[in-house]
A and B are shown apart, each in its own frame.
Chain A
């Protein structure tokens, strides 16, 4: 079990109080036993981890300074790491071994992080509960009867359950922030283009962004500082200098204007939840911030817009899974039948639904009415944010409208889509945004208090500002520590 933060592990390994190898060897027995109940991981990468830990120890011994020396990290299973089975939570890639390593993962490993394993996710990152995984069930460590959120549910659960100090998720419409809120951890989606997508198996290319889960904002900042920045292998990565964030965390919010979104009033979310957010906003104010009301009049079109653009892109992105070169193949009498059988057997219901929606939205005669209109709405939403940021430095809102829900509670796809109501508008605008623990509520029918997340969003590329504000809030409130992690595994 890892109770230490990434920062303290890196310090201990760097000063050779312990080694990367000792850290990882001590961790695996706990991961193996606890994961029988939590199910964060789809695969563990013992051999790669041990070999890499030895290399890290050798580099530390040789005097190299590694910012993430020996830090165990879990990687969402839609990110390529050479020699690991990389499934995207899908039967179509169930046995596919990645032949290369993506940029973000490579940078973290080069900085000393140790890959513990690959984490469960909604198939192709499509979902908000991890229930769409074709390959396993992940449970919320705070209540095993509840979902961890999604799509990066495994990565959120792994950090929450102390099975890794850090983990990587990918966020397309809220897939880092919502599970972070559900699992009592920090989840951070950087500005679109800040972290290379090379090696991230695409869901919706114009929205996908890799980001960290951590138990503190400082750890998330450290991870981001290492993996962010321009990558010549990703044409959409932004070629502008990365400002270090971990060195600029702040402890008060004097002079910060916090925007509270008029359209995101929490009164209808129930008294308990309303109280959590009222308190969160008051805490921000108590730290010296000024609260200002801002308007995002087009935010209500976020879900409709998102569910045209993301499926349209995914309908093309997922076309490569055809049984020809890799992954599942179900034979047919000709190539057409092979395609059909392979894709019918390989993709789950939600993936098929989105491919169909996207194919339809791009079809001749419908393109202007759906795809083009959605792009226009996206532009309007982004300009609403830009306008809002004229009067505030950061926007605060719920990360999700409810705490983690029970398995099978959202059988209607649209009810599931609504889970991303607060996160999707910022995704469409490409904004940096995170969820930080902000309080607990006991859900109806639930037996335990469950965590809630405060979403903070800043203008494009204002990661330093965002993480600084979140750190000040986190250090002042320490909500994550209010309830201990339940006993989830015997070690």
Chain B
């Protein structure tokens, strides 16, 4: 906290923040990565275990093909390269909740390499962050420490281990140090999350630990070309804490440098309650993981045709959709995000746009009237009676001035409640806009005759009188008269 107090915004402004994110995402599969145990969150401790995930002597891993497929699809969604040959490796270190005391992971030949994650900031700017790789590994169990009162290992008299999570498939996404602000880091994570959820490869629930991320943070003077020394921040359990932790680390490192010190390479743990991080271990204490190829598994050999088929079957990428909405349709980032975050709404929107070529009007209806009706009736727009075809018809009629916007709003409600065709409703109820000059003149004459006072007021220069008269004509025409023609006719007659 003191570091933050010492560093003024003016001082911070001299520095550039450099962030690389690494995150672990649990894959959504029926079974664990290397055995048939269910991949489900929670449950009584040690009830979702077997000889394989408990590392009983003699048990062997067998890879989950769905998990591998999820990885390929996740990579393809970010335009990563999917090598035809990849392999698993053992990462050796002792930890009580890691049953084999090595983790099966991928070291030098991961399932996906490269790729780019595109994200948007609230001010409408588009950013991107390269991925180094996404690789597949297995999760550990969970330790809990008892006897100390506060659940910490220090002072605890014994520990308990739950292996239900041990062996759950985990993808590790490693990002390049391309991010330059806490906002960008969060936007990057949101983009990752959105893509994984929409691909169905993960639920990405931070509160259940299915997304866990670390941030490699360094600072440098603006304009510098070399990176500063990085610190790795761990234990951030929400996007909000990622934001706070990065801002805090920015100030801490700038503070160290401003005081004439040097940032040391270390791993720091974020403490959400105090809003500070503490050093966990320095580079000198870093492990030698002694990676080597996992001899219990054969390499993963893929066929190009298989990858191509998976690519062809990918749902539209949320990033591509987002870009289209902002850059081609001119939506705000908030509007685009609202659509992109709700895949079924976005699909509904896209189908309607395809029939109308009027994205702005479609967006107004989808995010406006339809979303309001959806909230009121607790029905998803995609499940409501109003079809994209009906909405498109309505918008085409509106754009062609066959109906006016007031009528359109009424027809929307009718379509929502009853379904059917917009055209049919307009025809059946005689709601088409009246643009025939003689019919308009009839309404106008009727109103002028009945409102002599207003005519006088208008002639005396009171423009408000005209508005009143237009309203009166609309009323007489039951909303159908073309308001532009009505106004013109009134002026002509007066």
Contact = CB atoms under 8 A, between A and B. Distances in A.
Given A99-B56, A316-B101, A320-B57, 12 more contacts: A80-B56, A80-B57, A80-B58, A88-B57, A100-B59, A197-B58, A198-B60, A232-B62, A234-B62, A236-B297, A326-B57, A364-B290
Interface string B44-79: 000000010011111111110000000000000000
B94 A198 contact: no
B58 A102 contact: yes
Contacts of A359: 290
A73 interface: no
B101 A199 contact: no
A207 to B, nearest CB: 8
B104 to A, nearest CB: 10
Contacts of B90: 316
A371 interface: yes
Interface in B451-481: none
Contacts of B261: none
Interface in B260-308: 288, 290-292, 295-298
B101 A200 contact: no
B391 to A, nearest CB: 51
Interface in A102-121: 102
B42 interface: no
A83 to B, nearest CB: 14
A363 B297 CA distance: 22
A51 interface: no
A367 B291 CA distance: 9
A: interface residue count bin: 35 or more
B56 A100 contact: yes
B290 A339 contact: no
Interface string A69-84: 0000000001110000
A333 to B, nearest CB: 11
State the majority secondary structure of interface residues on B. Answer: loop
Nearest first, the 7 A-B pairs at minimum CB distance are A319-B101, A205-B295, A362-B290, A206-B295, A201-B57, A320-B55, A199-B58
A312 interface: yes
Contact of B58 (A200, A322, A339): A200
A371 B295 CA distance: 13
Nearest to A365: B288
B60 A235 contact: yes
B330 interface: no
A421 B392 CA distance: 81
Interface string A229-268: 0001111100000000000000000000000000000000
A235 B290 contact: no
A201 B99 CA distance: 15
Contacts of A102: 58
B296 to A, nearest CB: 5
A482 B327 CA distance: 91
B99 A233 contact: no
A475 B54 CA distance: 47
Contacts of A326: 56-57
A362 B92 contact: yes
Contacts of B59: 100, 198-199
A205 B101 contact: no
A363 B290 contact: yes
B151 interface: no
B136 to A, nearest CB: 14
B212 interface: no
Given A198-B60, A359-B290, A319 B51 contact: no
A371 B89 CA distance: 14
B252 interface: no
Contact of A319 (B60, B63, B100, B298): B100
B94 A319 contact: yes
B161 interface: yes
B377 interface: no
Contacts of A204: 295
Nearest to B297: A235
Interface of A: 78-80, 86, 88, 93, 96, 98-100, 102, 197-202, 204-206, 232-236, 312-313, 315-316, 319-322, 324-326, 335, 339, 359, 362-364, 367, 371
Contacts, number: 101
A63 to B, nearest CB: 33
A312 B159 CA distance: 31
9 contacts: A78-B58, A88-B57, A235-B63, A316-B290, A316-B292, A321-B57, A326-B56, A362-B291, A371-B292
B: interface residue count bin: 20 to 34
Contacts of A88: 57
Given A235-B298, A236-B297, A371-B292, A324 B58 contact: no
B15 interface: no
Interface string B97-125: 00111100000000000000000000000
B221 to A, nearest CB: 33
B437 interface: no
A16 B354 CA distance: 79
A78 B57 CA distance: 9
Contacts of B159: 335
Contacts of A79: 58
A324 B96 contact: yes
B290 A335 contact: no
A359 B99 CA distance: 19
A98 B63 CA distance: 24
B109 to A, nearest CB: 14
B142 to A, nearest CB: 14
Interface string B341-381: 00000000000000000000000000000000000000000
A206 B290 CA distance: 17
Contact of A236 (B94, B96, B102, B298): B298
Contact of B296 (A201, A205, A364): A205
A324 B296 CA distance: 23
Query: Which of the listed residues B90, B99, B292, B297 has the most CB atoms from chain A within 10 Å of its own CB?
Result: B292
A322 B60 contact: no
B252 to A, nearest CB: 30
B55 A325 contact: yes
A339 B58 CA distance: 20
B161 A324 contact: yes
Contacts of A80: 56-58
B56 A233 contact: no
Contacts of B63: 235
Query: Which of the listed residues A197, A201, A233 has the most CB atoms from chain B within 10 Å of its own CB?
Result: A233
Contact of A197 (B60, B288, B297): B60
Nearest to A206: B295
Contacts of B62: 232-235
Nearest to B286: A364
A306 to B, nearest CB: 14
Contacts of B99: 320, 324-325
Contacts of A78: 58
A115 to B, nearest CB: 16
Nearest to B34: A235
B234 to A, nearest CB: 20
B60 to A, nearest CB: 5
A235 B292 contact: no
A232 B60 CA distance: 10
B89 to A, nearest CB: 10
A321 B55 CA distance: 9
A312 B96 CA distance: 22
